[in-house]
Structure 1
């Protein structure tokens, strides 16, 4: 497949401001102000990083204006290969970092980590690339909230921590869901929090107001997101 993957490295330009941080509902925290600019070009760059990995070449130089600005970020790959019964693309890998790092470095690292090292899935193969789409999420700073349900689905991501209930353990369990997960899954806020508790590693029953629920420390954050498909990547390369 190597001969069919684009090998040129054109320059890219970033231009659009994020638009998905809205006014919160009464009683919920406002999303923190963010200077993040996330565009399709960031996802195109991730595609070139992945293609370059298989072609054993360097990826294109970081082309976007905010390459040296630091952000917490996630890179997500979805696939249309073996499409689900719903017809929607299936998740192929999603890994990120909550510690801000220079954007270009972060995209180079997590474009590959999410494609090749998400242990929920086998590593992406070169012949899968034409079926992939990529999205990049840049995260805003975390805001603690006093009530695990004081957030707005679709606007806030949640990050929760709680002490492991195992009697001999001092571990802290943690999990997160990006802002889009709750509406995409059709969950209520309560269902989202309980799912995150289970995602963190607790397998017992959880109800609002029990000991596990009352031990939660929850922070919310916003994100700006952009993505592209492989066909958009190839058209971009061919147009240069």
Structure 2
């Protein structure tokens, strides 16, 4: 079984910096495999607790080399909850990669352990007769200090359900639990690692951070329009499209 490791995080940083520099990332230092995976970016300033800046991945197994390359950028630049990460934020970033394993159906919505299991819930919205789903990685509930019921209710809200949450509705959830391995690295440790192993000083070349960020916005939006969706209908359409593409926010 493939486990999350340092080289996977290094590859995610390599990929993001290569994007800003409009160049190819160095080849990865880990072997190919097939696994569900997630990439999480957090930002810490002045010693404060790191805050989420992007977290997207797939619940379906895929080639991990292409997967980490794609989701390193998708989570940094296309997480609909946040503006795209700018190059000037790099010194404050930490990256976590997660490899998901051991999928199994839960007997009910309480059949899982906080800190051990991630969750996928699926259900039909009784108000709109639409399918909804959402996931949290294993570390989320423990980090937030939630009970099992609080985590489930939060997942239902994350899935887009705005109605009353009843015990009857919770019992109708289709719940899948899973486990994961993860590895986290801060940008400063990435820079030290690259200097030690490659003799390189990593930096963003050429344009200023603001120019790079504006270019990212233009690429994502396909022009001058804002990449962020402002209406509920547009937001629901984006959720549906992301589900069809296998993209999930997990944090």
TM class by shorter chain equals 0.7 to 0.9
Structure 2 residue 54 is matched with structure 1 residue 93: yes
Deviation at 1:81, TM superposition (A): 3.5
5 Å-filtered alignment, 1:5-20, equals none
Structure 2 residue 165 is matched with structure 1 residue 176: no
| Gap regions ≥5 residues in structure 2 | 199-251
Q: Structure 1 length as normaliser, TM-score? A: 0.79
1:227 corresponds in structure 2 to 184
SS at match of 2:134: strand
1:136 corresponds in structure 2 to 97
The structure with the greater share of residues assigned to helix is 2
2:205 corresponds in structure 1 to none
Deviation at 1:191, TM superposition (A): 0.6
The Cα offsets for residues 111-152 of structure 1, whole Å up to 9 and x where unpaired, read as 000000001000011111111000000001421112110101
Contact residue 35 and residue 62 of structure 2 kept, 8 A: yes
| Gap regions ≥5 residues in structure 1 | 1-34
Deviation at 1:189, TM superposition (A): 0.6
Deviation at 1:74, TM superposition (A): 0.5
Deviation at 1:36, TM superposition (A): 2.2
Contact residue 127 and residue 163 of structure 2 kept, 8 A: no
Deviation at 1:63, TM superposition (A): 1.5
Runs of 4+ in 1 over 2 A off after TM superposition: none
The one of 37, 41, 52 equivalent to 1:77 is 41
Question: What's the Cα RMSD here?
Answer: 1.3
**Total equivalences in the alignment:** 197
